[in-house]
Structure 1
Amino acid sequence: MHAQIVLFDGFDPLDVIAPYEVLGAGGAVAGGDLTVELVSAEGPRDVPSGMGLLSLRAVAALDPGRADLMVLPGAAGRISDDDGEDTVAAILGRSLGTGLAPLLRTACERRGLTMATVCGGSLLLAMAGLIGDRRATTHHLGLDALAEAGVHAIDARVVDDGDLVSGGGVTSGLDVGLYLLERELGPRVAHAVEQLFQYERRGTVWSARGAGRQGVAA
């Protein structure tokens, strides 16, 4: 199984680093059954995060044909600003003006590929018109915007909607990563990584499967 974690100008570092470390550790525990790499739409390059925090190196091009799992982070920026510059929404909007949008569309349409998001990553997909009428979550401050984009916004730590798995605020990247390990490689692998990181997952994973009301819980 191969995972690609997507970088774009203005990404939030913790949205990337948390699932990257969790998935990488899970791959090691599972004897190499999971590999993970950082990618960008433009290919190998140093990609600056938002707020001037740091840059990370994309080692390969985003390639939906190679990925079984793709993780999309949100942006690091101001929540609101009079001139609209360097806000989370502005950064996400700029990213859609690059070669990222068509690649994400291909990824979302590819059978067998699971798209996972952390924080504003689901907003990015919603702004691109890729997850309308799907169930997803994001940072609690973005739930209304997610709903306005036609998504069934769920106020949960992690939401599993089949081939779309989304997480809430930035630290939920740990929970998303561990949940994906459990779902794809089994609970023993996820438990081993939990012990290694000394972190216990938070909250119940909301899933479209099972009994109970299947509507919006925002």
Structure 2
Amino acid sequence: MLAQVVLFDGFDPLDVVAPYEVLAAGGPIADGALTVELVSAEGAREVPSGISPLSLRATARLEPARADLVVVPGASGRLPDGDQDTREDSIPAILARALGTGLPALLKESLDRPGLTVATVCGGSLLLAMAGLITGRPATTHHLGRDALAAAGAVAIDARVVDDGDLVTGAAVTSGLDVALYLLEREVSPRVAHEVETLIAHERRGTVWSAGAA
């Protein structure tokens, strides 16, 4: 199983590092059945986060044809605040710039590919919604962004993690831990998820909202 964690200019570092570390820890426990890469739409490059001067290096290009799991983070910047939304360092502005790259087409390809799961952390779901990729689908995001998520066409759910089959979304930044542990449990095994949970000393929070639940 190949997990690709997406980087774009202005990404939130914790949205990336939390799921990356959980998934990477699961690899050896699962006897190498899981590998993780940091990727970008452009390929290998240094990618600046939204917290200067921190950057991370993408080692490969996002390849939906090769990946089994694609994790999309949100952005780090000023929170939405009326007229402040248009500032260059606001989260909506950062996400809008990401929409002007090759990333949306690759994310659409990811969502269209059978057998591939797209997961998001925090504003990652808003990025998908702004690109018109999850219209009418249940999703969650940071509580301050739920109205924007709904306005962009998604069905905003007040939950820590939302499972809509091939789309799994997480709420605020620390939910990246819970999203990744849930995916380990769902896609690899509960044993592996439990061992990683014990290793990082984190107990998952909240009930997973599932579209398939009765």
Give the shorter-chain TM-score range. Answer: over 0.9
* Contact residue 15 and residue 73 of structure 2 kept, 8 A: yes
- Alignment CA distance shift 1:82-1:37 (3 Å): closer
Q: Give the aligned CA root-mean-square deviation in angstroms.
A: 0.9
The corresponding residue for 2:122 is 119
- Alignment CA distance shift 1:82-1:115 (3 Å): closer
Shift of 1:101: 1.4
Shift of 1:84: 1.8
**2:60 pairs with 1:57:** no
Distance 1:188 1:83 in 2: 46
Distance 2:26 2:51 in 1: 30
Write the letter of the residue equivalent to 1:147: A
The corresponding residue for 1:15 is 15
Write the letter of the residue equivalent to 2:198: Q
The corresponding residue for 1:210 is 213
Q: How many residues align?
A: 211
**2:170 pairs with 1:167:** yes
Structure 1 window deviating more from structure 2 (129-138 vs 101-110): it is: 101-110
Distance 1:100 1:22 in 2: 24
Distance 1:15 1:51 in 2: 12
Distance 1:53 1:156 in 2: 32
Distance 1:55 1:175 in 2: 24
Shift of 1:51: 3.1
- Alignment CA distance shift 1:203-1:82 (3 Å): closer
The corresponding residue for 1:39 is 39
Shift of 1:210: 2.1
SS at match of 2:88: coil
Write the letter of the residue equivalent to 2:149: L
Distance 2:177 2:53 in 1: 20
Distance 1:65 1:75 in 2: 25
Alignment counterpart, residue 144 of structure 2, candidates 141, 144, 147: 141
* Contact residue 181 and residue 197 of structure 2 kept, 8 A: yes
Shift of 1:82: 6.8
SS at match of 1:202: coil
Identity of aligned residues (%): 72
> Normalising by the residue count of structure 1, what TM-score does the alignment of the two structures yield?
0.95
* Contact residue 86 and residue 93 of structure 2 kept, 8 A: no
Structure 1 window deviating more from structure 2 (128-137 vs 73-82): it is: 73-82
Distance 1:141 1:53 in 2: 25
* Contact residue 43 and residue 58 of structure 2 kept, 8 A: yes
Distance 1:106 1:64 in 2: 6
Write the letter of the residue equivalent to 1:9: D
| Structure 2 unaligned regions, length at least 5 | none
**2:84 pairs with 1:84:** no
> Normalising by the residue count of structure 2, what TM-score does the alignment of the two structures yield?
0.97
Distance 1:185 1:129 in 2: 30
